[in-house]
Amino acid sequence: MITPAFDLSQDPDYLTICIRVPYTRTSEFDLFIDGADFKFYAKPYFLRLSLPGRIVEDGTEKATFDIDKGVFTLKAPKETRGEHFGGLQMLTSLLAPKGSRSAKLLVEDMSAETGSETTGDGEEEEDEEEFDWQLEQEVYTDRSEEKLGTMQKYGFANQRSGVFGRLQEELSDVIDVKNPEETLASERRRARLEAEALAFSSDHYLADLFEDDEINRLVKFTPWWSKLSPSTEQKGESAVSFSDEEKEQLRKFTNRSFLLDKTSRCQAWLSLLDILLAYSYEVRSAEGEHNVESPWTIRKLSGTLCWLETYSCLRDVLVSFGRRVLCYPLYRHFALVALSVCDTAKILQSGKACVLKCLLDIHKVFRENDPAYILNDLYITDYCIWIQRVSSKKMLELASMLQHTLLQKKDLELELDELESAARIVVEEEEQASTESSSSDSSSESEESEAEEQGCSDSKQGGGETCKDSPSEPSSSPSSPIPVLSSIALSPSVNRKAGVESSDSQGHRQLIQDLGRQMTEEMRISADSCSFGAGEMLFADE
């Protein structure tokens, strides 16, 4: 049998179920309604749903079939008019779990023993005692190999093992742990911290700190979850819509329950937070458009996905994420760490539907990347199923704790404050040196200008013209002798061009020629550097 595509909606009095069943006969429809249990059969399609509320057959129900679109629509009345059915978007949780051939339950979920029960909205209500997200309940210690078995646990809520033993070729492209099957959790954490310390680049960090044009652009970006408005139907849940592709993926998931103890539930929540932080950063850094680097960015910034990390408190998650943001991606700025934390808190506050949409987006990113799809099997698929049944109250508690947890630069243990202080001192010294150099240059120029003005004033007193107004005239000031010597060196040619034929000046010309040749040899002054007007003025004075 084929599970058809379906969708649900509601108004105060009716529940509408739309089922897509192309290429079937209208005469073969079978319906069964029994409170919260709904069954539909139209060969070769079969659908069974566990509804979050009860519906009845009272004669007001209405069924239609659109032959062109192949869509069967049932509008069934609610048993309690005006009741709101929660979780209609959680399509996976609505699919009834697969039954057993035995009437005896092989595993019985006892609320008295497991501390959880299912509410009318399809949520698995956990124990109501205060859950401490901030402080560790007990110090983590590695158990003996006899208790752990031959392989270490990882994956969603530490439920998997032996996976990477069959995937040695893809191992290095997905995670950074060399031998996950035999590496203890404490050893994985120590190796992660050492790798982060080696990867941290002070030059890259300071470049993003002082040249922050790109960072400022990312800070101003508004992600899609910031635009969500609270739903008018249910307080505490935002109006999140799923695309047809996302709905199809939800229908493909196999619905199942997860029997987790208190420790496993805590680790599942903290790892979910770690993954959402990495996703929030990736969306902001890519400005909402995924690219070829998106799978790498998400898994690299998440210690859960990259190092199979298991966290024991909320602060450990934030410190790990902050360190990895400043060590690996293109943009490494502490402001992006703080914004990612705020974005993740907003996602959690927006309800299960918003978190599920983020997880489905991550699932798609990994699904389209080889071999990152392995992380879907280990974590994301189980999270997409599990999140549909968790308590919304726990999600809001986690969001509140996240907002009230202060993360400072010193918590990352990368000596950021000392590095920034040293860099600012260097910048101030360079600016001061540049200022002093500019002041010195200005003083030198002022002194030269005063000297030139003094020389011109002396020339005026001797009956000459002002130097500024006659740039072609030779200066009689002893401070600039080269133009005068150049004019003397060129005086014979200038004299011929000027047409001076007086016999009284022949002796003067010979003397000047000899003097010119002597000065040219000693100072190697090119004859081309002189001006015709200078030589002409000199002989006119003679």
Q: Among residues of the chain, what percentage have pLDDT more than 90?
A: 39
Is 283 exposed, middle or buried (CB count within 10 Å of its CB: 0-12, 13-18, 19+)?
buried
Looking at residue 378, its amino acid is: L
**Token duo for residue 429:** 């010294």
Q: How far apart are CA 462 and CA 465, in angstroms?
A: 9
- Confidence at residue 145, expressed as pLDDT on a 0 to 100 scale: 47
Q: Which of the four pLDDT bands, split at 50, 70 and 90, describes residue 457?
A: low
- Confidence at residue 499, expressed as pLDDT on a 0 to 100 scale: 43
SS3 label, residue 7? strand
- Confidence at residue 483, expressed as pLDDT on a 0 to 100 scale: 37
Confidence check: pLDDT of 147 > 50: no
Q: How far apart are CA 410 and CA 407, in angstroms?
A: 8
Say which residue, 111 or 448, is predicted with more confidence.
Answer: 448
DSSP 214-270: HHHHHHT---GGGG--B-SSSTT-B-----HHHHHHHHHSPP------HHHHHHHHH
Q: How far apart are CA 76 and CA 62, in angstroms?
A: 7
Q: Give the number of other Cβ atoms within 10 Å of residue 474's Cβ.
A: 24
- Which tens digits make up the pLDDT trace of 312-350? 899 999 999 999 999 999 999 999 999 999 999 999 999
pLDDT, mean of residues 31-54: 88
Q: DSSP strand E in 425-542: where?
A: none
Confidence check: pLDDT of 492 > 50: no
**Token duo for residue 430:** 């360079």
Confidence check: pLDDT of 477 > 50: no
H or E, element range at 482: helix 482-489
Confidence check: pLDDT of 253 > 50: yes
- Confidence at residue 24, expressed as pLDDT on a 0 to 100 scale: 75
Q: Which segment, 95-109, 146-160, 420-434, is predicted with the most confidence on average?
A: 420-434
Say which residue, 170 or 429, is predicted with more confidence.
Answer: 429
- Confidence at residue 516, expressed as pLDDT on a 0 to 100 scale: 53
Tell whether the torsion through CA atoms of 317, 323, 329 and 333 is positive or negative.
Answer: positive
Identify the weakest region by mean pLDDT among 126-140, 177-191, 296-310.
126-140
Confidence check: pLDDT of 357 > 70: yes
Q: How far apart are CA 424 and CA 432, in angstroms?
A: 12
Residues 6+ apart with CB under 8 A from 460: 466
| Residue in 31, 42, 90 with CA at minimum distance from that of residue 70 | 42
| Residue 376 DSSP class | I
- Which tens digits make up the pLDDT trace of 504-521? 445 545 555 565 565 555
User: Please, what is the average pLDDT of the chain?
Assistant: 76
Confidence check: pLDDT of 126 > 80: no
H or E, element range at 275: helix 262-285
pLDDT, mean of residues 241-247: 91
Say which residue, 455 or 214, is predicted with more confidence.
Answer: 214
Tell whether the torsion through CA atoms of 11, 17, 22 and 28 is positive or negative.
Answer: negative
pTM > 0.85: yes or no: no
What domains can be seen in the chain, in order of their start residue? 5-94 (2.60.40.790), 156-416 (no CATH)
Q: Give the number of other Cβ atoms within 10 Å of residue 506's Cβ.
A: 11
SS3 label, residue 287? coil
Q: Among residues of the chain, what percentage have pLDDT more than 70?
A: 66
Residue the block writes with tokens 């919304």: 392
Q: With contact defined as beta carbons under 8 Å apart, do 72 and 62 qualify?
A: no
